[in-house]
């Protein structure tokens, strides 16, 4: 009997801990429905008190009730909480912010440390009636805060630009999952992440940003943005501003970016007296500098508007400034890799059907207290489609390792261009130098290495695969490697204009180093190939290939296993000045 009683007590205790303890592990928030200021103010106070108490007591989970609730004032997140809706449907609970964001920082100057925060299973939105930016009627007096603000840097830090000493992870271990974050075109960005580490945004909708972007990331590490819908953005979809590392952006849909910011930018530039150029921020954007180790994989990027529809900013600019023709000032770029190194763009599907399509992919250097030139960037296995496009790929000032590896590689992509390519040479890839003036002296930064392999191009408009555009009248691309690229099913290796040397990849067999020198379409000077086995400095042989569309060469060299050979291609016999240099290591 005693054993039976003990057994029964054990079952009762198990049931107690199974049912009662989980109920003690979370706090249910009692919010009121209604739109009056009194209700909204009370809801803000109640929710903030529940968050504060959960953080202090270790209760952790803050359960929101079902319904639509208006909130006055900002809500400040605290450490060690799970703010959650009551079901797996994020539409069951909606928090509508009337005059403040949900944030991790009490003031615009404070930078609190916070850790272990989860937001899940509810909708967070701005009240759409908050004063918002309107290019025609309200260009200045509008609400200027992000909907969800996870960290910030001070104005002084912003004015100083990138500094490595400023990077300090104050927000850690934050997870956003199964959420609807809807800024209702109010404020700036929908989500801002700054000075953070170990951040996850997944399976959520990040929509209707105000004047700025869907997701902005600055000074942050280990950020995963996965399986989200990012739609109707004032500026970019997802932007890595600067100082970010170990970021993965995968399996997202980015739809309709650059919907509001361009007209604001036009005004700002025009009123400053600067020369008007254009605005081309990307759906997935690295602004830089100092972004590194970034993976952008299997995302879909497209416009939801009807076929061949212009960017909405341009008609507004023409109307406000009474222009006779609508400008192409605001244009679409899909992927921008400025100020970035060690990045992979793979398996993305891009379809931009607009007369204002600028580019599929661009890369440029960035200087803001530190210079970051594009390096170790691979663009592979993507599908790019547009009706018309100005520069399908545009590259500036890329660098490589000393042995001419880890430059910019474009391989195994499909390009489909239905209409016109409108750059001067109608080229797929345009390479340009960057002029930098310091102490009244201008230095031109060229690109070291571009590799184009196994790409398929469908178009009736392309005439050149790669071209170089130069202001200095010097080579803007030191070495171009081409192989097995096809244009409408036919091999095409055409390059021209300010490219130092173009080759096919070379190989080593039977003590001979072989390769093919590709003569650019406008090549006029002779070429000399010099080969050296390292660490020796003795030139083993010098060749002068005949001028032809493709000149094969074979150099007898005994390269020991593990040793390297250096090849230099120049336009001067016995001189290595301005030579294109590449390395081959025997395996």
Work out the number of other CB atoms within 10 angstroms of the CB of residue 529: 23
Distance CA 104, CA 499 (A): 51
Quick one: average pLDDT of 393-418? Answer: 93
Both tokens assigned to 530: 């010099």
Distance CA 332, CA 390 (A): 10
Q: What is the mean pLDDT of the chain?
A: 91
**Whether 370 contacts 548, CB under 8 Å:** no
Work out the number of other CB atoms within 10 angstroms of the CB of residue 455: 26
pLDDT digits over 136-193, tens only?
998 888 999 999 999 999 888 888 999 999 999 999 999 999 999 999 999 999 999 9
Q: What is the pLDDT at residue 574?
A: 67
List, in order, residues 6 or more apart from 386 with CB less than 8 Å away: 351, 352, 353, 354, 357, 360, 392, 416, 417, 418, 419
Distance CA 387, CA 364 (A): 25
Q: What is the pLDDT at residue 576?
A: 65
Share of the chain above pLDDT 90, in %: 72
Q: What is the pLDDT at residue 220?
A: 98
Q: Kindly tell me if the per-residue pLDDT of 225 is higher than 90.
A: yes
**Whether 471 contacts 436, CB under 8 Å:** no
Beta bridge partners, 74, equal none
Q: What is the pLDDT at residue 541?
A: 67
Distance CA 503, CA 450 (A): 11
CA 538 → CA 531, 542, 549, 561, distances in Å? 9, 11, 30, 19
Q: Kindly tell me if the per-residue pLDDT of 573 is higher than 80.
A: no
Q: What is the pLDDT at residue 320?
A: 94
CA 395 → CA 290, 413, 442, 521, 561, distances in Å? 18, 16, 20, 20, 36
Q: Kindly tell me if the per-residue pLDDT of 16 is higher than 50.
A: no
pLDDT digits over 310-362, tens only?
999 999 999 999 999 999 999 999 999 999 999 999 999 999 999 999 999 99
**Does a cis peptide bond (omega within 30 degrees of 0) precede residue 289?**
yes
Quick one: average pLDDT of 107-117? Answer: 92
State residue 440 phi and psi, 5-degree precision: 65, 20
Q: What is the pLDDT at residue 536?
A: 67
Give the 3-state DSSP-derived string for 471-486, with helices as H, strands as E and coil as C.
CCCCCCEEEEEEECCE
Both tokens assigned to 470: 């130069």
Distance CA 559, CA 512 (A): 9
User: Which run of H or E residues covers position 38?
Assistant: helix 37-57
Quick one: average pLDDT of 532-556? Answer: 74
Question: 208-217, 452-461, 525-534: which range is least confident on average?
Answer: 525-534
Distance CA 575, CA 363 (A): 32
Q: Kindly tell me if the per-residue pLDDT of 539 is higher than 70.
A: no
Distance CA 178, CA 192 (A): 17
pLDDT digits over 473-501, tens only?
999 999 999 999 999 999 998 999 999 98
């Amino acid at each position: 009997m005693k054993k039976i009683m003990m057994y029964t007590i054990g079952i009762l205790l198990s049931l107690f801990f199974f049912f009662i303890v989980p109920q003690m592990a979370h706090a249910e928030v009692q919010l009121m429905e209604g739109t009056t200021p009194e209700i909204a103010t009370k809801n803000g106070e109640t929710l903030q008190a529940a968050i504060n108490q959960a953080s202090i007591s270790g209760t952790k989970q803050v359960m929101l009730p079902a319904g639509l609730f208006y909130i006055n004032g900002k809500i400040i997140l605290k450490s060690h909480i799970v703010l959650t809706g009551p079901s797996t449907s994020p539409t069951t609970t909606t928090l509508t912010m009337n005059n403040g964001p949900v944030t991790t920082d009490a003031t615009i100057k404070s930078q609190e440390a916070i850790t272990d925060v989860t937001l899940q299973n509810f909708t967070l939105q701005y009240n759409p009636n908050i004063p918002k930016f309107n290019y025609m009627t309200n260009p200045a007096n509008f609400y200027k805060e992000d909907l969800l603000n996870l960290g910030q840097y001070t104005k002084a830090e912003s004015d100083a630009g990138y500094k490595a000493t400023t990077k300090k992870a104050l927000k850690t271990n934050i997870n956003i999952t199964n959420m609807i974050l809807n800024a209702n075109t109010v404020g700036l960005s929908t989500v801002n992440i700054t000075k953070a580490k170990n951040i996850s945004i997944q399976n959520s909708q990040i929509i209707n940003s105000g004047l700025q972007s869907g997701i902005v990331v600055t000074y942050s590490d280990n950020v995963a943005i996965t399986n989200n819908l990012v739609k109707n953005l004032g500026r970019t979809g997802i932007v890595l501003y600067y100082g970010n590392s170990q970021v993965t952006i995968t399996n997202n849909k980015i739809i309709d970016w650059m919907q509001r910011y361009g007209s604001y930018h036009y005004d700002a530039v025009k009123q400053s007296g600067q020369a008007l150029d254009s605005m081309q921020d990307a759906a997935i954007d690295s602004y830089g500098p100092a972004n590194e180790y970034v993976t952008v994989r299997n995302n879909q990027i497209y416009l939801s508007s009807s076929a061949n529809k212009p960017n909405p900013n341009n008609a507004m600019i023409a109307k406000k400034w009474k222009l006779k023709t609508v400008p192409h000032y605001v244009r679409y770029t899909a992927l921008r890799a400025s100020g970035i190194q060690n990045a992979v763009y793979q398996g993305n599907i891009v379809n931009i059907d607009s007369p204002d399509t600028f580019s599929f992919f661009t890369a440029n250097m960035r200087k803001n207290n530190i210079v970051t030139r594009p390096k170790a960037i691979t663009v592979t296995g993507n599908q790019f489609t547009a009706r018309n496009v100005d520069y399908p790929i545009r590259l500036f000032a890329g660098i490589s390792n000393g042995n001419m590896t880890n430059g910019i590689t474009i391989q195994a992509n499909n390009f489909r261009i239905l209409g016109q390519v409108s750059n001067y040479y109608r080229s797929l890839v345009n390479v340009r130098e960057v002029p930098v003036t310091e102490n009244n002296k201008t230095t031109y930064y060229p690109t070291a290495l571009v590799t184009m392999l196994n790409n398929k191009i469908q178009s009736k408009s392309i005439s050149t695969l790669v071209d170089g555009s130069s202001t200095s009248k010097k080579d803007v691309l030191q070495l171009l490697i081409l192989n097995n690229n096809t244009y409408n099913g036919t091999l095409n290796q055409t390059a021209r204009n300010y490219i130092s040397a173009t080759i096919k990849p070379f190989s080593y067999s039977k003590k001979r180093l072989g390769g093919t020198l590709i003569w650019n379409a406008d090549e006029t000077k002779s070429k000399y190939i010099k080969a050296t086995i390292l660490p020796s400095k003795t030139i083993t042989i010098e060749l002068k290939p005949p001028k032809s569309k493709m000149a094969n060469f074979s150099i007898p060299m005994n390269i020991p296993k593990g040793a390297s050979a250096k090849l230099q291609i120049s336009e001067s016999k016995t001189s290595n000045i301005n030579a294109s240099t590449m390395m081959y290591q025997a395996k």
